[in-house]
Structure 1
Amino acid sequence: MSEMIRITLPDGSAREVASGTTAAEIAAAIGPGLAKAALAARVDGEVRDLARPIERDAELALITARDEADALELVRHDYAHVLAEAVQNLFPGTQITFGPATDDGFYYDFAPKDRPFTEEDLPAIEEEMRRIIAKDEALVREVWTRDQLIAHFRAHGETFKAEWAGELPGDEELTVYRSGDWLDMCRGPHLASTGKLDPQAFKLTRVSGAYWRGDQKNAMLSRIYGTGWLNKKQLAEHLTRLEEAAKRDHRKLGQEMDLFHLQQEAHGSIFWHPKGYLIWRQLEAYMRRRLDAGGYEEVKTPQIMDARQWEQSGHWGKYRENMFVIPDEVPNTEDDGPVVSNDADWMALKPMNCPAHVLIFRQGIKSYRDLPLRMAEFGCCHRNEPHGALHGLMRVRQFTQDDAHIFCRQDQLVEEVALFCDLLDRVYKDLGFDKYAIKLALRPEKRFGTDEMWDWSEQSLRDAVAATGRNTAEFGWEELPGEGAFYAPKLEFHLTDAIGRTWQVGTIQTDTVLPERLDASYVGADGERHRPIMLHRAILGSFERFIGILIEHYAGKFPLWLAPVQAVVATIVSDADGYAQDVITALAKAGIRAEVDLRNEKINYKVREHSLAKVPYLLVVGKREAEERTVALRPLGADARQEVLPLDEVIARLTGEAVPPDLRS
């Protein structure tokens, strides 16, 4: 007779079942509806296949489509496997490598036998994937030894898989998943069968090159990307978002609006044009006013510091590969390179501002009465990002942070974090973002500091968010194990934009490590030296990336206070040229950023051109307007209604709308 085990369900009820019972069997015992809906199981927190036996007492939760995050990861993993099987069916001799799920889909890397894959191959592969799904073949988990894996893959000409299998631990449980005669090495879990996938809920999107194991010294592979969802409605919504995102692409709009450009001579750095830099200046001025009101003191620190400083801070050992380093001796053209004796002979462009801020804090004796000290800097930083990772304004090598560091006592920490959360909330709402999520990134495996320090730091951040009432589902509160920085846990703030995408921008981190490493201290009420707590915080993250987000959020149609050109005065006939100049003069006197268009072009042409440039207001003037001292005011937008108004009334409307949100009464 089989041993009986106790299975505890999410509602607290328990069932006694025989050891070796599967989650699928338990679902069927509960009811046929649940058995049909179940996709996988969470056993003591671990996601498993429904068909995997449960051998001991356990807590069991059945995963259905309602558990969207888990369900999506499962189906995307399965779509990747079906993709690999389809490719090998259609292109015999193709080798498989890896195929993970991604945030919105999946990909798989292949080594084709004859030629790289192209996007022309995708329709046939999609059709073969649908055929495999329709076969509804069971996805069966099997445990193999390392030697079995190596022998199998070598026998089938899968040299990449054999290489990877050879590096796996010999004493580890290794698994493959089989569907019919096809199999792949995989940890799982998977759905019960290919038929659990919706054949109308995926789409292959593109093909690119990728190096084996991400190393350019290795073979070039063909990577096929796809997007996968639980049903065709979700897929349609996603494709609509992609279409809308393409229209809002900040690189496309940046060119159309003449904001910035990028070029080969400065990979990862931005050439800001006057209109783009005007947006920057408006944003910077706004942030400076908010910081001044929040009790911050602004500083400016050097771009280059000695390697010994970075070594002492801990960045040299953990971050050096991402830093731009400079030898203190210029290489001789007859030699192989610069002569350096040790790390102390090197300088580095700063990748972050924090060590320099500690050095300012250390100037002079600080008392407990001086704290909190809030030190802000719009600091230009450099990070040697991989060339392939660079992406417009979103991922660059030179960037400016809206950075600040708060030095405080332990008893001040919760209040300071709460004040920061309130400040960040005001800024995001002023900039047009009403929705954001707060996530607590907890200690990583490799870290500085003691467990006691991490316990205290993490709990302090929890308490601070709770004090503001934002540790709720409304704010998407979530804890992320292992995702903190090497020196501190952190709160992350994820904005939701106009088309539902999320962007991680703001952050605040509780750091007790850097003040210790750089010997920062203050004199306490007891007359003894104490270490301050150092809060690393940013709201925008970087100006470059945040402006890119703003461009896409507003689709280039900025609120008037941020728009680089707020109005264009366009003439219908040349007889109105003199009056148009009078209008421009009046607008400039009122502080409105305006341009005049006197070209001998039809007014419809001018309207289209300035609409493409996303100018908020077009002020059209002809002979009649000149005689009556009026303008035809045309707001940006296809459905905008034109109004003929007195010039003074138009100026009053525009000046009221152009006031930055923090200056409005």
Structure 2
Amino acid sequence: MEKEIIAFLDTEKIVDLQSVQSKNNLKEIYFDNSKESLEVIRHSCAHLMAQAIKILYPEAKFFVGPVIEDGFYYDFRVDSKINEEDLVKIEKKMKELAESKIEIGKYEISKQEALQKFQNDDLKQEVLLRIPDGQVSIYTQGDFEDLCRGPHVPNTKFLRFFKLTRVAGAYLGGDEKREMLTRIYGTAFADKESLKEYLTIIEEAKKRDHRKLGTELKLFTFDDEIGGGLPIWLSNGARLRSKLEQMLYRAHRIRGYEPVRGPELLKADAWKISGHYDNYKENMYFTQIDEQEYGIKPMNCVGHIKVYQSDVRSYRDLPLKFFEYGVVHRHEKSGVLHGLLRVREFTQDDAHIFCMPSQIKDQVSEILNFVDGLMKFFNFSYEMEISTRPQKAIGDLEIWEIATNALKEALDEKGLKYGIDEGGGAFYGPKIDIKITDALKRKWQCGTIQVDFNLPNRFKLEYTDTNNEKKQPVMLHRAILGSFERFIGILTEHCAGEFPFSIAPTAVGIIPISNNHIAYAQEINDMLLKLGVDCEIYDKNESLNKKIRIAEKQKLPMILVLGDEELEKRSVALRDRRAKEQKNLSLDDFITLIKEKTSEVYF
């Protein structure tokens, strides 16, 4: 069966059939599951949903309905309270409209005409405020029409394979000071099989949700009296995090990084020099101390610059590598906060490398090796993307070109493939973004490597070269995990709470069958603690099977059962969750096994 064309691609811009003037030199977009096709399908499905809502709730008024990474949503106002059960009847109406094969049309009017046309619709007025003067486009399907720049499929017959996934609240324009609208999320595909596969992943994702597992495994919590986006780490989560930090600490030291520590509060003058005050102020928190303005740091780079400036530097000192588990704060709107994945306070596994221009490629290459080892240990696949100069940027174009080419050359020499994100760089330099893929095939942006010629210039950093002349170093910004909070959230879902032995909050559960075996359990517990292995003794007055079930629910890597035979022979009955096996070992052999696990070099 021949595929149907639903739109065209003009360079990177999608042009739908309703808008195309000439097909010359345009690439066809067919009705399939390609990235471009899904963008058109999902955008159109958002309108299909809005049309169905308008029929079911005639008083409904609509704000915006964009395509997002894995689907779409629409924000709207309605008199009724819409819950998950209502999604079924909305879907039913959407299917009827899709099966009616309604033509989707388009016409254009001036912005002034649109303001007049929608004068009684305050949400449409809000949308028009965000649109430049000139012509605006309106898409129609049956009696329904909506402001939209497109693109859309030509007919609702292409919108048969969709699913509404959840209903939520969303502040108008993302501003928590404004009214709460209703938001419905959904997704759509070109065929039934792809939709079914996606929904299976969604169901598995619900089981793996780090917020759900975080509660079950007692890792972290949030409290309204403390404030949104400010995680509270419970004992289990603090142990997990500490083990991860210690593992990375050793890896950094082996690679020649020096630990440093900068203050969390800096005078606003420092942020003015760095450019954050002009370019990043809306994301920062400020306060007054002794009638001077201070800013809580959103990044660690300024503190590390001050470490560099604390001494006279020579070319013999370079590269200088500083790292810090730096606590930073960024202003996030409450509507975007999401468990550990989007918070207001977080800790970066941050590092800054000061080097000569001739050392950039080697340093980036070494960082890429570090990334590869770490991702392999956690069983993540990953890909890289170079982000280039954004519109809001500091520094000369020539400097940006030198920095961008250095990143490309480092990746090319290692034979690594990468994409280009035009305009996606930080305001002070281009970067490599490391995007990991988890067990559910979801992509996450975590680590980053950024080349920066601008901050060294702004802070007048210097080193003395071989000719005893003053030169300006290059600054590399580098984080591999991104932040401990976000990475732990992602890792929790990736491994469904079954953490690797080396970082598991509780690595070994010890179950004495009766009170006669508690002393032996405590002895083993003490031995393991000295090896840096956290344990828990299940010594409540409960049945053996219940103790084992409780320990298994905590997803412990290992469980030891101790009875008369184990006490007499000084052995253990080991249940290894990851190896999926049960066996008896002498206590000495078990301790040797633990020593091997805790002495492994991971990356």
| TM-score class, shorter | over 0.9
Q: Secondary structure at the match of 1:449?
A: coil
* Structure 1 residue 122, shift from structure 2 partner: 1.5
Instruction: Give the structure 2 partner of residue 420 of structure 1.
Output: 367
Aligned residue in 2 for 1:536 = 477
1:305-358 C-alpha deviation (Å, 9 max, x unpaired): 1111111111112222322222114xxxxxxxxxx5xxxx11122111111211
Aligned equivalent of 1:455, options 395, 401, 420: 401
Match of 1:633 in 2: 574
Q: Would you say 1:282 and 2:243 are equivalent positions?
A: yes
Q: Does 1:253 align with 2:228?
A: no
Q: For 2:480, what is the secondary structure of its paired residue?
A: strand
Aligned equivalent of 2:512, options 548, 564, 571: 571
1:647 alignment counterpart:
587
1:129 pairs with 2:75:
no
> Which one has the largest radius of gyration?
1
The CA deviation string for residues 63-84 of structure 1, in whole angstroms up to 9 with x for no partner, is: 1255621111111101101011
**Are 2:381 and 1:410 aligned?**
no
**CA 1:575/1:44 → structure 2, altered by over 3 Å: closer, same or farther?**
closer
**Partner of 1:68 in structure 2?**
34
For the residues of structure 2 that align with 1:627 and 1:611, how far apart are their CA atoms?
Answer: 26
Unpaired runs of 5+ in structure 1? 1-32, 330-339
Tell me if 1:115 matches 2:76. no
Which of 550, 553, 556 does residue 497 from structure 2 map onto?
556
Asked whether the 8 Å contact 2:33–2:189 carries over to 1, the reply is no
Which residue is equivalent to 1:385? 332
Show the counterpart of 1:501. 442
Give secondary structure in 2 for the equivalent of 1:420.
helix
For residue 293 of structure 1, the aligned residue among 254, 261, 276 is 254
SS at 2:239 equivalent: helix
Q: 1:599 aligns with which of 524, 535, 540?
A: 540
Matched residue, 1:139 = 104
Deviations 1:51-94 (A, max 9, x none): 544348x4221112556211111111011010111111112122
Compute the displacement of 1:536 (Å): 0.6
Which structure has more relative contact order (CA 8 Å, sep 6+)? It is: 2
The 10-residue stretch of structure 1 (387-396 or 91-100) with the greater mean CA deviation from structure 2: 387-396
- Answer yes or no: is 1:88 the counterpart of 2:48: no
Report the counterpart of residue 16 of structure 1 in structure 2.
none
CA contact (8 A) 1:116 1:221 kept: no
Report Cα offsets for 1:143-188 as digits up to 9, x if no partner.
222233233323xx43322453366444x33211121232211111
Q: 1:262 to 1:151 in 2, by over 3 A?
A: closer
Q: Which residue of 2 aligns with 1:186?
A: 148
Secondary structure of the structure 1 residue equivalent to 2:475: strand
Q: Is the 8 A contact 1:146 1:166 kept in 2?
A: no
- Aligned residue type for 2:16: D
User: In terms of mean alpha carbon deviation, does 505-514 or 202-211 score higher?
Assistant: 202-211
Rounded to whole Å, the distance in 2 between the matches of 1:266 and 1:640 is: 41
Q: Is the 8 A contact 1:150 1:166 kept in 2?
A: no
Output the amino acid matched with 2:128. A
Matching residue's letter, 2:182:
S
Residue correspondence of structure 1 range 318-333 to structure 2 within 5 A: 318-329=279-290
User: Is the partner of 1:266 in helix, strand or coil?
Assistant: coil
Residue 267 of structure 2 corresponds to 306
For residue 341 of structure 2, what is the aligned residue in structure 1?
A: 394
Aligned residue for 2:68, secondary structure, equals: coil
Asked if 1 retains the 8 angstrom alpha-carbon contact of 2:64 and 2:127, the reply is no
Superposed CA deviations along residues 244-296 of structure 1, whole A, max 9, x for unmatched, are 22222222222322323222233233332333222222212221221112121
- The code of the aligned residue for 1:39 comes to I
Alpha-carbon spacing, 1:380–1:178, altered in 2? closer, same or farther (3 Å): same
The alpha-carbon deviation at position 491 of structure 1 amounts to 0.4
Segments of structure 2 that go 5 or more residues without pairing to the other structure are: none
Per-residue deviation, 1:587: 4.1
CA distance in 1, matches of 2:327, 2:127: 42
Match of 1:11 in 2: none
| Letter of the 2:138 counterpart | V
- Residue 121 of structure 2: which of 152, 158, 161 is its match? 158
- Give me the TM-score of the superposition, normalised by structure 2: 0.94
Q: Structure 1 pair 187/399, CA: closer, same or farther in 2 (3 Å)?
A: same
Alpha-carbon contact 2:32-2:190 (below 8 Å) kept: no
Change (3 A) 1:166 1:249: closer
Which amino acid is the alignment partner of residue 97 of structure 1?
Answer: F
1:49 to 1:281, Cα distance in 2 relative to 1, 3 A: same
In structure 2, distance between residues paired with 1:279 and 1:167: 45
Which residue in the other structure is 2:193 paired with? 233
SS at match of 1:377: strand
Map of 2:114 onto structure 1: 149
Match of 2:164 in 1: 204
Q: TM-score, normalised by structure 1?
A: 0.86
Looking at structure 2, the residues matched to 270 and 44 of structure 1 have their Cα atoms a distance apart, in angstroms, of 44
Q: Is the 8 A contact 1:573 1:623 kept in 2?
A: no
User: Please, what is the CA RMSD of the aligned residues?
Assistant: 2.3
Which residue of structure 2 aligns with residue 40 of structure 1?
7
CA distance in 2: counterparts of 1:163 and 1:426, whole angstroms: 49
**Are the structure 2 counterparts of residues 454 and 222 from structure 1 closer, same or farther at C-alpha, using a change threshold of 3 Å?**
same
Within 1, Cα distance between the matches of 2:176 and 2:386? 35
Q: Aligned pair in 2 of structure 1 residues 203, 519: CA closer, same or farther (>3 Å)?
A: same
SS in 2 for 1:417: helix
Q: Identity rate of aligned residues, in percent?
A: 39
Q: Which residue of 1 aligns with 2:560?
A: 619
Aligned length in residues: 602
